[in-house]
Structures are given as C-alpha cells and as structure tokens.
Amino acid sequence: MVNNVEDFIASLEGREHHAYLDTEGNWTTGIGHKIKRDESDLIKKVLTDDDIDELFKRDIAQAISDAKRLVNNFDELCVPRQAVIQSMAFNMGYDRLAGFRQMINAIENEDYNEAQQQILDSKMARQLPERAATLAHMMVTGVWQ
C-alpha cells in the first residue's frame, strides 16, 4: 500500500524506458509522460532512470497545480482524496479534468458519493476500469487503496 501521491501515481502508471502508444494513441514514456510535439526525440530515445524521474517530477508539479486550480477546497481535502484529483489531472491534463464539473462540484460540496458516481460514469472509467474503481473507492472512503 502507498501513502503519498507520487508513489500512488507511479503505481498506476508503471515505468517505461521506451515510448509506447497509450489508450488514446498518444506517444507516452517514463511514468505516464505524454510526449509533446517539441519532445518528439523522446519517441526513439531509451530513457535512463534519471530521465524518467525528471519528467515525472515536472509532470507531478503540473498535476498538483492543475488540481489546486480546479478544486476550490483542494487543500482542505484528506490526502487520499487529493491524490485522486492529482492522479486524474496527471492522467488527463487540466482541460479534460475541467470537464468533470459535476465531480468537482460534488467534491466542493463534500458529496463524495456523487463524486464517486461521476468518476465511475466517465469515459476514463470505460477506458481504465480498474483505475477508475480504485479512484472512486478512494474518493468515497477517503482512504488509500
């Protein structure tokens, strides 16, 4: 069992030294790092552990920033619920997570049952059912899974 967001996200994403296509056809490498156009050299590069750690550090910082921008009461949430939002921000990015308006509203109103339902009734849940189940459980219970 993990008890911090970095280890939690890494456990969900896995660690890859070579680029691969994700479930939506995006080139990805490292720990769930979506390769941007200006990073196309990463598609053919074999990453070192240090390369992976540096990309992950930057991606985590962005996910935390995005989560805090989207959820007004983010800092008042327990750490496992914060980890759910950060994981979703990490996986989807700001714009797609911003589309979870009903989930965000439910979290801000402390309606974690509704937030759980919004996670389970999503495209993400259809693409990544095990991950969605884990995130939904953590959201409703407020405990690490």
Write the pLDDT tens digit of every residue in 12-29.
999 999 999 998 899 999
Alpha-carbon dihedral sign for residues 93, 118, 5, 25: negative
Domain ranges for the chain, please list them. 5-141
Domain at 5-141, CATH from 1.10.357.10, 1.10.530.40, 1.10.1060.10, 1.10.760.10: 1.10.530.40
pLDDT digits (tens, 9 = 90+) for 115-137: 999 999 999 999 999 999 999 99
Q: Are residues 47 and 17 in contact, defined by beta-carbon separation less than 8 angstroms?
A: yes
Question: β-strand 16-21 against 27-30: which pairing, if any?
Answer: antiparallel
Q: What is the pLDDT of residues 73-112, one digit of tens each?
A: 999 999 999 999 999 999 999 999 999 999 999 999 999 9
The structure tokens 């402390």 sit at: 110
pTM (whole model) above 0.85: yes
